[in-house]
Structures are given as C-alpha cells and as structure tokens.
Structure 1
Amino acid sequence: MRIVEIREKTVPISSPIRNAYIDFSKMTISLVAVVTDVIRDGKPVIGYGFNSNGRYGQGTLMRERFIPRVLEAEADTLIDEHGDNLDPHKIWAAMFRNEKPGGHGERSVAMGTIDMAVWDAVAKIAGKPLFQLLADRYGNGEPNRKVFVYAAGGYYYPGQDHEKLKDEMRGYLDRGYTVVKKKIGGASLDEDLRRIDSILSVLGDGQKLAVDANGRFDLDTAIRYAKALSQYDLFWYEEAGDPLDFELQATLRNYYDKPMATGENLFSMQDARNLIRHGGMRADRDWLQFDCALSYGLVEYLRTLDMLHQHGWSASRCIPHGGHQMSLNIAAGLGLGGNESYPDLFQPYGGFPDGVKVENGHITMPDLPGIGFEGKADLIAEMRKIAG
C-alpha cells in the first residue's frame, strides 16, 4: 500500500466581493489529489483536498517541499500499525521533516490541503464516511450527524444597497438557515449600523445575526464598535482586531460582555494555545474558528482539540471557518459546535453534497465514503480533472 502520486492545481475562485481587509478579485486555491495504489471497484482510491478561501493557492510550496518528502519516504513508514491503511500522522511527520518550528502562515496552508486529501483517502480505504472514522478512532463511535451551520454572507458588493442586502439575507433564511453573518469595518460605523438594522428587520424569532470585522480594527475602533454593537443581541462579534493581537482581544472583553469569535487566522496549535492563554476568551460564551484546511490539517487540529480540553474548553465551542465538507465531518465526528457555510460564494468548493438541505439551521450528514466530495457533482467534476 502506497501513495503513487500527489497532484496539485491552482484554480481561481475570484469574485467582486470584499470584506474590511481584502477583495477577492484575484483569489485562488490549491486543489490536490492523493493517488494511492489501493483498488476499490476496479479503480484506484484517490483522496481530494483544497484550501479554504482567504488564503491563496500554495502549489509552489507543495511541489518544492511537501509532496517530494511524502513520495520519497519508504512506503512502509507511512502505513498504520495494522498495515491496512495509510497513517495521516506519519504522512504529516514526513511532510514536516526538516522544517523549523514557528512561521506558520503559508506552510500551514500547503500542508493542511494535502492533509485533507490524505484523510479523504484514508476514510475511503476504510470504507467509511470520515465523520464515522473520526468517531470510531477519537470518540465513542457515535457521531452527531446533525450539524449546525450558519450562512456567511453580507460582503460589500459594488452597487449593493440595503434592499439587495435584505434580499440576500432573506434568501439564506428561506433556505433554512437561522444564523446569518455580515461584514463590518468596510464602511463607516454609522453605515455599518444601518446595514445591521436592515438585516435585523428581516429576521424572525429564533434567528440571529453575526458580524465579522476580519481583523480590521485597532483597539480604539474595536471598542467603539463594541459599545455600539452592545445594543443588539448578536450571535457574535468576530475578529475585531489583528488575529495575533491577543492583548486587544483580552481588553475588548471589558467593553463587550456578549459572545465574541476569533481564530480563523491562527494556523497552529501553538498560536491557538496563545489565544487561550492570553486572549481573554471566555469558555462559557465565546467561539473559536480554527480552520484545519489552513492550519496544518486535521492532524494538527486534533492537537488543538487536546489543548483546548486541557484548558477547560469544550470542542462544542469550535465553529470552524471555511465552509467546507472537511470541517463538517470533523464537527459530526468530534463534537464541534457547527460549521460555517457559504451558500452562494466560492463555488463549487463550498456547500454540501447534492440533496442535503438546511433545516432549522442544521444539516444531516449523508452516508458517503471519505469526506463526501463524490456526492457534490460540480465539485467532484473539477477534482477529477486533476486526477487523470
């Protein structure tokens, strides 16, 4: 049993949208295929992966460092102790060989993308959905197939007025979402508050709004927004300042006693641990958004979950960024609090397998082998283009 080939292709996910920090007009991602010599139904098992939006494709790093290390390793050093499957932890260690600690920004994305494809292959070889494999290996064997999802939208669009913004949010609510999200910090505080009021006017009972500043604010601005946002009952106030400014985050809790969220731009267990140690996050109300596809993959995410447990945090306080099926499987298999969703953006990479519907803010995981990419026709068609 061995990995025969690892292929990468950088593909565009460009869009005219913007948040408070970046626009997506030139955004790319890496699409990866891990080809094995294991045969199922007459065909080789292939695992697929891609990195989340917001960080560009990392094909150069993959081709120059991480893919060669895996392919150069002796095949038997990448097999699990039972000898009947690949071992993601050993493959991760092979990728990280000769790498110094620290400096997680782009390297973590490259490794996280390959790691996703490895886990897809491992679950397919085992003949299980990834969420079931995770529940079997790291839980009690009983996944929670019903997963909370929220609709991430509310970007700043060229020419978008308040009526179009309300129409966007109505579209998410009509599809079964109960929590929607909008961007803040890309306009004045007064305009952002008017946008919030417009969205709240279309929300009904049991429906909530989250807001996301994408790390735009300095401390004074973050506090001004915190005071203004306190008048609302928001689902959360997300990433007010620079993701590594733990002092800002810790200070902000003195001005905002309602739920906050951050973590999507922290790319290692060590950085996540520093947030928990120094960021003033509150385990009874705040949310953690670490995204395995950007942060060295599920192997590292398991370390992060262990760290959180040691610090008194429940995995149920994690709602990952990214809107991809990998995090859906982790949520179902390891008891996370839910997952982000992009109903209309970054397609075909976001969303759910065909036929999966949002009902009262939740989806139910279908029985598909691996991560379940084969259940999403437009996505698997793109993935198979690079698998040959």
Structure 2
Amino acid sequence: MISAPRELPSFMKILEVREKTVPIASPIRNAYIDFSKMTLSLVAVVTDVVRHGRRVVGYGFNSNGRYGQGQLMRERFIPRLMEAEPGSLLDDGGANLDAHKVWACMFRNEKPGGHGERSVAIGTIDMAVWDAIAKIEDKPLYQLLAERYGNGTPDRRVFVYAAGGYYYPGKDDTQLKDEMRKYLDRGYTVVKMKIGGASLPEDQRRIESVLSMLPAGCRLAVDANGRFDLDTAIAYAKALSRYDLFWYEEAGDPLDYELQATLRNYYANPMATGENLFSMQDARNLVRYGGMRPDRDWLQFDCALSYGLVEYLRTLDMLRQHGWSPARCIPHGGHQMSLAIAAGLGLGGNESYPDLFQPYGGFPDGVRVEGSHVVLPELPGIGFEGKADLIREMRALAE
C-alpha cells in the first residue's frame, strides 16, 4: 500500500522586504550638525497574511539625525531574512512572526561592539516587523506589548513634549518665542530648544527670552547635542542652575561617561542623555559609570536607532536591575513606535517634532495634544494607517 505524501504544515511568511532612502532635509541646525542633507530609510516588510481584505505590510523608518541605511540593509540584513527558512522566523504556532527570531537572524555573523550604523539598519527593519506582528494579531502594538511584557493594561494617555528651538539663518529671539508660542497653542506645556551653537551669553539671552513668555505651569528643556567639553559643560551647568529647567540634555559626547558623572557635581537639577547610545551594553555603561540619578534624570534611548524593540526590551530589563523605572525613559525621535512602547510598557513619554521631519513625525490624524499628553487611538499595529500623509508614502513603497 502506497501511503499518501505527508502534508507539510502551512506557515505564513515574509514575501519581500523593500527599502527606500527618502529626504527629510531642512535648513535648521543644532550645536553639532545641520540637516541640509538629512535622509532616512523607509522599510516595508510584505507578508502573505491578509487582514480586512488587505495584505499585511509592516512599516518602519529610522529617526532623524543618522541618515538612511539602505546599503547595509540591502547587502546584509535583508538577504539574511530572505534566505532564512521561513518557519525559522515564526512563533511556535507558525501563524505570526517572532521578532526575537527575526532579530537573531539579522544579527547572525555580526561581531559584538561597534553599534554606530548597523544598529540603525536593524532597528528600522525591527520596527516594520513589530508593526506586521501587531497587524497580524489585529491589535494595536501598545496592547500587544502590554499583554506580553507589561501588566496587561496599556495606558493610552502618553506625555509628549515639543522639540524645536533650532538655530536657523536669520532667526532672532522674537521668532524663537513665536515658535514656542505656537507649541503652547497646540497644547504642549513642555517645550525644548537647542543650545551650544552660540556663545554662553547668547544662549542665556535666548533661554531667558523663552522663559519670559512661558505661562505658569509650562517648562523649558535645553539640549546641547553633545557639543561641550567638560569645562564648557560645567560653565553652562553653573549658568543654567539659576533657571527651573525641565532638563539639561546631552552636554558632552554621549560616550564620555566621566564627563556626565562629573557634571552632576555642578548641576543638581534634572539632566537627560542617551539618544546616541545604540545598544543595551552602552546604556548599561551609562547607568554604571555616567552618574545618572534615577530619582530625577531622564534616559532617551531610541529604539529605532538602537537595534529596535527587541534590544530595547533588553535595555528595560537591565534598567530595572539597576534600580531604574521605565517611567524615567522618554525616547528621542518623535515617532509613533516609541509612543506605542510608552503606552504599552509604561515609559515616561515621548519626544515630538510638531513642524519638522514630516510626514514621519507626529501623531495619527485627529489626535490632539492636551496638557502635553496625547491619547493613542485603537489602530492595529503601530498606527501608521491613521496618518494620511505618512501611509500614502508607505503604501507607495509597498504596493
């Protein structure tokens, strides 16, 4: 008797991963770089799963400040995914992707250390994978994260602050105040401006001009973008101590933990840093050796730049072991991925760029800022489909 051939299990699979480099150029500058040539990578992970009559596609992009990473994706990370046995990338049920297995596949044959650019490439694809996973489960990503890694109940109301105050050709204090006033009119109560691109007296004048127009209950944060050596960082710390600032951000080089640790002796108010640390190990070195204070300081690790949410989960575990609460994390980047993580895992909030880097920044259409908080809508995945100008660009890549 001839037995019938054994039927192989039916698994979902990734059909294709597409990538495109897109410009987000602007004439603005901070203390270290200008954005006249800035780009990012837009990624689409196309699956064979259909939900609500449409093929499920996960989307991702990297945060501003690190440029597109298409070549690394095309040469290393996308081929590894497409060459993998499809079942090896799936969860135990075979009906959805397993982000941790996908991450391990991308990182295969990569040596430890050196987290500058590949972390951005992997983090961008990782974002798209999580978007696809949540869409396949037909849940908002924040709900999925709360169920898998949180307390089961997301907090859809998330703190956001308005990042701006860049240096701009011809921009004077009046224009700076007008910019900040527009943020206040939109519902923000915490705003941020750049320092370090001018002299200390000039920056003090700019800071005081903004403080002079802030209503009671509103706060100002300042960001040096890693510009200062120790002596300059201390000089600014002494000058800034007279103001009640929300935080003093990234005074020195992000890897100069000794500078950051020394600075705490001169600045008792809150400080913030971490947006340019791209791995759990670098984040661990910051909390071990950087003198950061878990009762007042803020950590700004950005999953889109630092190997994605898979690595960010490792970072959160590490922080807990060192006595830090996730509520002290307010990620850099201003994207909806970090909003979803904040809602699902209890972060302290997220950055926002109300007028910059569009359409990639911002919130789904109709979401309003009230008291520097937004309430996330119940959209499957990260929620990109709720932002018309953004999803139009994304679908142009995927379809």
| Matching residue of 1:35 | 46
Aligned equivalents of 1:26 and 1:62: distance in 2? 20
Cα shift at 1:84: 2.1
More displaced 10-residue stretch of structure 1: 14-23 or 79-88: 79-88
| Matching residue of 1:209 | 220
| Matching residue of 2:206 | 195
Aligned equivalents of 2:384 and 2:332: distance in 1? 18
Residue 124, structure 1, aligned to residue 139, structure 2: no
| Matching residue of 2:334 | 323
| Matching residue of 1:112 | 123
SS in 2 for 1:151: strand
Aligned equivalents of 1:298 and 1:367: distance in 2? 20
Aligned equivalents of 1:107 and 1:26: distance in 2? 20
Aligned ranges 1:1-388 → 2 under 5 Å: 1-388=12-399
One-letter identity of the residue aligned with 1:173: L
Aligned equivalents of 2:167 and 2:261: distance in 1? 28
Aligned equivalents of 2:216 and 2:139: distance in 1? 38
Cα shift at 1:42: 2.6
One-letter identity of the residue aligned with 1:242: D
Aligned equivalents of 2:34 and 2:317: distance in 1? 35
Cα deviations by residue, 1:200-231 (Å, 9 ceiling, x for unpaired): 01111110000000000000000000000000
Aligned equivalents of 1:3 and 1:50: distance in 2? 18
Cα deviations by residue, 1:68-119 (Å, 9 ceiling, x for unpaired): 0011111111111232211000000000000000000000000000000000
Which structure 2 segments of 5+ residues have no match? 1-11
Cα deviations by residue, 1:120-176 (Å, 9 ceiling, x for unpaired): 000000000000000010112100110000000000011111111000000000000
Cα deviations by residue, 1:302-347 (Å, 9 ceiling, x for unpaired): 0000000000000000000000000000000000000000000000
Aligned equivalents of 1:359 and 1:75: distance in 2? 45
Whose radius of gyration is greater, 1 or 2? 2
Aligned equivalents of 1:339 and 1:81: distance in 2? 33
Cα deviations by residue, 1:265-303 (Å, 9 ceiling, x for unpaired): 000000000000000000000000000000000000000
TM-score (norm 2): 0.97
- Say how many residue pairs are matched: 388
TM-score (norm 1): 1.00
Indicate the RMSD between aligned Cα atoms, in angstroms.
Answer: 0.5
Aligned equivalents of 2:95 and 2:326: distance in 1? 30
Aligned equivalents of 1:357 and 1:158: distance in 2? 31
Aligned equivalents of 1:195 and 1:140: distance in 2? 43
SS in 2 for 1:167: helix
SS in 2 for 1:180: strand
Cα deviations by residue, 1:21-65 (Å, 9 ceiling, x for unpaired): 000000000000000010112321000000000001000000000
Cα shift at 1:385: 1.1
One-letter identity of the residue aligned with 1:59: G
Runs (4+) of structure 1 moved beyond 6 Å? none
Cα shift at 1:350: 0.2
| Matching residue of 2:8 | none
SS in 1 for 2:210: helix
Aligned equivalents of 2:150 and 2:315: distance in 1? 15
Which structure 1 segments of 5+ residues have no match? none
